[in-house]
Structure formats: structure tokens, C-alpha cells
């Protein structure tokens, strides 16, 4: 029988994040990445979204291993949930594996086989041979994968950019990509995230230079907020601090953890004595202070939010201070980040961010880089990956520009599979795929992470409860209740009205300061609904509290779903 290999995206094709791709040959499966996605505003009460593992776990023992391209959450974040259901070995570069190890410790998952592999090491798993290939990205130690299968070689780029001058000197492996292209690649899966951007993505080193110019003229405290996983950016800041005889305090748990992990493994060089404890830094003159902080997305309770609000224990931001938001604002966070920027300005600080200064570059390839990758690999078939439909389509069009005829380009989304033989490829459908919602870690720190997947939704139903409050914590509209699969609305309008009243009373009984705290408010709404439904219907539905805050004090209309 002619060999057949199937490429099965469980996530990342049709959305940004949630990246997971299966490669199947006979009864064997391997996965490329296992990422999560942070939910949109339309899924309140949901902490994470993870891929649907149904297909990967359908045949016991079929899933042989997970190969990771890099350590970003949208590539490793769903691993604990997969590993709880199937203990398969996990392969990745040393830094990626170190990040995963920390994560599994937090999820209390020991005994997972974690294997650090380096570029050009070839790993055989069932009918596959997997070889990592160095790429550059906004996290250190990223790789693409060359997967040799019974029908030929599949190249998956992972997330990548082609940085000609990476901070750690680890260039993308142009040679390996070229060689693979010469030898013949059956399928290329390539990162579509930045397909809308013309030209080339600038080098990470350019940001280091730009930040250096700011350090050179700064007279007061410098606060840099960035992603804790952006090891190269952290490196640039640490070097600059040493060069300008400043000291650095790390703020944020993930910042401390990642610096420790990356430094231990040699991915980060910490100049001697440059990092000091927070209280020690606070005693120094502002001109010697650098604060390296998380919170660039406006996360509440992050050091940056606290400083902007004037609530930080050690540092009061004021005139002369320079705040650099050295990161992209993830869509959906603009309003919160905007609020922080305003507050920092109000305190007299100078604020630099992506829109008003060159303080950040993307970790993803732009159009010319993507074309270069296509030209190096010259694949028989091409599948754009990592993007919403518009990005995938844009990448398919780009492929046409470099000469790939439409019959060789497959625009597919999660739930489809590409069937590849030695001579042809076709898309088939019908793979269970979708977004599985993960709802919190329970109240308090103990207890297992509760995974409420779609089975639960189907069995126990869902109740959504929405409310609109103003800045003073006053209820402007609602609560309104919508339910699916819990009770037939027609027969029980009275019951739903009773539930609505119960929520209304529970909310009215709260202090306005409690109502202003989203977490407290949503927990109260959730609790009230759950208790009511359990008592009346003996069911435990998924409860989705939705809180809409309006900026002013006026009335507002509640958006109907």
C-alpha cells in the first residue's frame, strides 16, 4: 500500500495561539507544540483555552511524543493538560525544556520524560525522524523542525523571524534550510503571524541600540516592562545597566524565575553584581536604578500597574523617571495598557511605547522574510500555519507571488487534515478540533486544575450571567441570565427570573469596593448561580460571569450575545 501521512492541525490555524499540529503515519502520531490561547472578552470566567485532544488520544498508545519549537505559552501552555491524560515524552531545546519543567512542577506533574535536544540531533520516533533547526524568535533557543516521514520531509518553521544579527549570535540555520530545499521538501508549514507586514522584520540588536540611546541620556530611574520570556530583551537591559553603572531589580515572579532559569543554562549572561534585591535598589539614587518588570500588558497587580497607580511598596514613579514599554500590546489589552500609560504620564514620568518610539521589534517574519523561507525550501506543498484565516490567506497569496501554483497551496484550518502521499496531497475534514475552556485553578491555591471541557458543557449545560457596572461599582444594567442545556427556557421563565433576582440581591449585598474588583464580583455571581442551579436542578453547569465595566457614570446598553 502506498504510504500516507496526515498533517492534522488541532490549533493555531484559524487563530493566533493554541498551536498544535499532529503528524500521523499509520498508527503513530507525534505532536508539534501544545499551546494555549488566552481567551477573548467573549469568554469571561475562562482562564485559558486549550486544543481539543480527542483525536490525539483516541487510539491508546498512538501518540508517541511531543516536539516543542520554543517556550512561549501558545506553544507549551497546554502541555500539562495533555500530559495528565497521556504521559508521552516531550522533546525541545534546553531552554524550552527548562521552562516546561518549571511549568510541570507548578502543575504537580512529576515523572514526565523531558528530553533536551539540540539543533541537528536526529530523534527517531516510530516512523518519524525529527531534526530541530535553529531559528530566531522573540524567545531564546527557538527551533523549526524537519520531520522525515514515509512520504518525504515535512518542514515546520515554528514561530520565526530571520534575524541577521541576533543578540546571542545564534543565526537562523540558513544552510540547513537551503540543504533541505535542495534535497526536496514535501510540505512546508510556515509561520503566518506577520504576513501583513511588508519588508523585513528588524533585528533584535537594533532594539538594544535604541534602548542604549535612551539609557545614555536618562538622568532618573529607568523602568523597562517587557515579556519575561523575552530573554534577549532582558539581556540587552542587563548589559546596558552594567554599561551605565546602574543596578537592576527584577519585579514579577515570572521575571525572577525566567532570569534564574536562563542564566543557569547559559542563555543569559548576568554581569557581576548588576542584579540587586528590590529593597537594596530602592535605597539607591534614581539615576542608578533600573527596574525590569512584567506587566507590559496591563495585568492588574503587576508591579507596573501598582507603580502607575501609586500603590507600589518600594517605588514611587515621578518626574525624571523613564518608563519603557518594550513589547507589543496584545490585541484586547489596548485599553488597560492605555490607562497605565496615562497614569504614568500623570505622575510626571516620561513613557516610551511602540507607538511613540522604537522600543520593540516583532519576533515574527515579515513578507520578504516569509518569501525567502519559501524560496529556500521550495516545497512541493505549502500550508500556512499560525494565524487567523486572514493571515493564512495572506500567506497563501504570498506563496503565489513566489511561484507556487494554487494546487500546491493548502489553506486549511483546525479540524481539517492534509493527506499526503509520495505524489499528491488533499485536504479532508472531520477531525474533532476546537477550543476547550479551562476555568481557573479553584478558589485558593490547592486542588487540581479544573478542566471543564465540552463534554461537561454538553452534559451539565451553561449559564451566563451578565452585569454592567460603572467606575464606582454601581450596577448600571443587569443582571441578565442566559442558559443553554440547563433548563427549557419556555417552561421556566419564572425560575430564571428567580435566579436573576438571587444574583441581583447577592450583588446588591456587596460593598461597592468589592463590586469594583472583577474577581470578587465574578466569584460572587458564579457562586450564587451555582448554588441556585444545584439546589433546583441537581446540575452543575459551567457558569460564565460577564462583567462589563463602563468608563463613566452614565447608563450603558448591554450587548446581547
Measured between alpha carbons, how far is 424 from 345 in angstroms, rounded to an integer? 59
Please list the residues that pair with 51 across neighbouring strands.
435
Please list the residues that pair with 465 across neighbouring strands.
481, 545
Residue 227 or 315: which CB sits closer to Zn ion? 227
Which grid cell sits at 459?
A: 452534559
Residue 202 or 214: which CB sits closer to Zn ion? 202
Residue 15 or 453: which CB sits closer to Zn ion? 15
Residue 131 or 159: which CB sits closer to Zn ion? 159
Q: Least separation, in Å, of the C-beta of 363 and Zn ion?
A: 6
The single-letter DSSP state of residue 132 is E
Q: Which of 70, 312, 364, 395 is catalytic?
A: 364
Contact indicator for 324, 222 with CB cutoff of 8 Å: yes
Measured between alpha carbons, how far is 195 from 192 in angstroms, rounded to an integer? 5
Measured between alpha carbons, how far is 95 from 267 in angstroms, rounded to an integer? 8
Q: Least separation, in Å, of the C-beta of 555 and Zn ion?
A: 41
- Of the candidates 124, 126, 122, 123, the residue with the CA atom closest to the CA atom of residue 25: 126
**HSE-up (13 A, CA, CB side) for residue 277:** 2
Q: Least separation, in Å, of the C-beta of 62 and Zn ion?
A: 26
Which grid cell sits at 234?
A: 532582558
Question: How many separate helices (H) and strands (E) can be counted in the chain?
Answer: 17, 24
Measured between alpha carbons, how far apart are the two ends of the chain, in Å? 51
Q: Least separation, in Å, of the C-beta of 386 and Zn ion?
A: 6
Residue 188 or 249: which CB sits closer to Zn ion? 188
Give the C-alpha distances (Å, rounded to integers) separating 560 from 43, 46, 165, 352, 483.
14, 19, 50, 38, 13
Contact indicator for 537, 519 with CB cutoff of 8 Å: no
Q: Which of 28, 191, 439, 470 is catalytic?
A: 191
Residue 20 or 123: which CB sits closer to Zn ion? 20
Residue 72 or 156: which CB sits closer to Zn ion? 72
Q: Least separation, in Å, of the C-beta of 191 and Zn ion?
A: 8
The single-letter DSSP state of residue 187 is E
Q: Least separation, in Å, of the C-beta of 190 and Zn ion?
A: 13
Q: Which helix (H) or strand (E) holds 212?
A: helix 204-217
Cα angle 143, 144, 149; round to 5: 135
Q: Least separation, in Å, of the C-beta of 293 and Zn ion?
A: 21
Which grid cell sits at 343?
A: 497614569
Residue 74 or 439: which CB sits closer to Zn ion? 74
Residue 7 or 503: which CB sits closer to Zn ion? 7
Q: Least separation, in Å, of the C-beta of 371 and Zn ion?
A: 20
Please list the residues that pair with 32 across neighbouring strands.
21, 67
Which grid cell sits at 310?
A: 501609586
For residue 312, indicate whether it is catalytic. no
> 174-183 and 367-377 are packed helices; what angle lies between their axes, rounded to 10 degrees?
50
- Of the candidates 353, 326, 330, the residue with the CA atom closest to the CA atom of residue 342: 353
Q: Least separation, in Å, of the C-beta of 374 and Zn ion?
A: 19
User: Footprint of Zn ion on this chain (CB under 5 A)?
Assistant: 72, 74, 159
For residue 28, indicate whether it is catalytic. no
Q: Least separation, in Å, of the C-beta of 71 and Zn ion?
A: 8
Residue 244 or 389: which CB sits closer to Zn ion? 389
* In the block, residue with C-alpha cell 525522524: 129
Pairing of strands 435-438, 48-51: antiparallel
Sequence-distant contacts of 236-240: CB under 8 A, at least 24 apart: 236/167, 236/204, 236/207, 236/208, 236/211, 237/211, 237/290, 237/292, 237/326, 238/268, 238/269, 238/270, 238/271, 238/274, 238/275, 238/292, 239/208, 239/269, 239/271, 240/208, 240/211, 240/212, 240/215, 240/290
Q: Which residues are catalytic?
A: 191, 364
Amino acid at each position: 500500500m502506498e504510504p500516507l501521512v496526515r498533517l492534522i492541525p488541532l490549533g493555531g490555524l484559524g487563530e493566533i495561539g493554541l498551536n498544535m499540529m499532529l503528524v500521523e503515519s499509520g498508527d503513530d502520531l507525534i505532536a508539534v507544540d501544545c499551546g494555549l490561547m488566552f481567551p477573548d472578552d467573549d469568554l469571561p470566567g475562562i482562564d485559558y483555552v486549550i486544543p481539543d485532544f480527542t483525536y490525539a488520544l483516541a487510539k491508546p498508545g498512538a501518540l508517541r511524543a511531543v516536539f516543542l519549537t520554543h517556550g512561549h505559552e501558545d506553544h507549551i501552555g497546554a502541555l500539562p493538560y495533555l500530559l495528565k491524560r497521556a504521559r508521552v515524552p516531550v522533546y525541545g531545546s534546553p531552554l524550552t525544556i527548562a521552562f516546561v519543567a518549571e511549568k510541570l512542577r507548578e502543575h504537580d506533574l512529576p515523572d514526565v520524560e523531558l528530553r533536551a535536544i539540540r539543533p541537528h540531533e536526529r530523534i527517531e520516533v516510530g516512523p518519524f525522524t525529527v531534526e530541530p533547526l535553529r531559528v530566531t524568535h522573540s524567545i531564546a533557543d527557538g527551533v523549526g523542525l524537519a520531520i522525515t516521514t514515509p512520504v518525504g520531509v515535512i518542514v515546520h518553521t515554528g514561530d520565526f523571524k530571520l534575524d541577521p544579527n541576533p543578540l546571542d549570535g545564534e543565526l537562523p540555520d540558513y544552510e540547513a534550510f537551503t540543504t533541505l530545499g535542495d534535497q526536496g521538501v514535501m510540505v512546508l508549514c510556515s509561520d503566518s503571524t506577520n504576513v501583513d507586514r511588508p519588508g523585513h522584520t528588524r533585528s533584535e540588536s537594533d532594539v538594544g541600540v535604541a534602548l542604549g540611546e535612551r539609557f545614555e541620556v536618562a538622568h532618573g530611574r529607568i523602568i523597562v516592562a517587557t515579556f519575561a520570556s523575552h530573554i534577549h530583551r532582558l539581556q540587552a537591559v542587563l548589559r546596558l545597566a552594567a554599561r551605565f553603572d546602574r543596578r537592576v531589580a527584577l519585579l514579577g515572579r515570572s521575571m525572577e524565575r525566567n532570569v534564574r532559569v536562563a542564566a543557569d543554562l547559559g542563555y543569559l549572561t548576568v554581569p557581576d553584581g548588576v542584579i540587586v534585591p528590590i529593597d537594596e535598589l530602592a535605597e539607591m539614587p534614581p539615576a542608578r536604578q533600573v527596574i525590569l518588570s512584567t506587566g507590559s500588558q496591563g495585568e492588574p497587580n503587576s508591579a507596573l500597574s501598582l507603580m502607575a497607580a501609586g500603590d507600589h511598596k518600594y517605588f514611587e514613579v515621578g518626574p525624571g523617571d523613564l518608563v519603557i514599554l518594550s513589547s507589543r500590546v496584545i490585541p484586547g489589552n489596548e485599553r488597560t495598557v492605555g490607562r497605565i500609560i496615562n497614569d504614568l504620564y500623570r505622575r510626571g514620568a516620561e513613557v516610551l511605547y511602540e507607538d511613540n518610539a522604537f522600543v520593540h521589534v516583532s519576533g515574527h517574519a515579515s513578507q520578504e522574510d516569509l518569501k525567502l523561507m519559501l524560496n529556500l525550501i521550495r516545497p512541493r506543498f505549502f500550508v500556512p500555519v499560525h494565524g487567523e484565516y486572514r493571515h493564512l490567506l495572506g500567506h497563501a497569496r504570498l506563496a503565489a507571488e513566489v511561484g507556487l501554483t494554487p494546487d500546491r497551496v493548502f489553506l486549511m484550518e483546525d479540524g481539517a487534515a492534509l493527506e499526503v502521499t509520495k505524489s499528491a496531497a488533499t485536504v479532508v475534514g472531520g477531525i474533532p478540533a476546537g477550543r476547550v475552556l479551562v476555568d481557573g485553578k479553584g478558589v485558593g491555591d490547592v486542588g487540581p486544575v479544573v478542566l471543564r471541557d465540552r463534554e461537561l458543557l454538553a452534559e451539565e449545560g451553561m449559564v451566563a450571567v451578565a452585569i454592567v457596572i460603572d467606575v464606582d461599582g454601581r450596577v448600571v444594567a443587569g443582571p441578565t441570565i442566559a442558559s443553554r442545556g440547563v433548563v427549557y427556557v419556555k417552561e421556566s421563565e419564572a425560575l430564571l427570573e428567580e435566579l436573576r433576582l438571587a444574583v441581583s440581591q447577592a450583588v446588591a449585598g456587596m460593598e461597592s469596593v468589592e463590586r469594583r474588583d472583577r474577581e470578587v464580583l465574578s466569584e460572587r455571581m458564579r457562586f450564587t448561580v451555582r448554588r441556585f442551579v444545584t439546589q433546583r436542578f441537581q446540575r452543575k453547569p459551567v457558569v460564565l460571569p460577564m462583567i462589563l465595566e463602563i468608563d463613566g457614570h452614565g447608563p450603558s446598553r448591554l450587548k446581547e450575545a
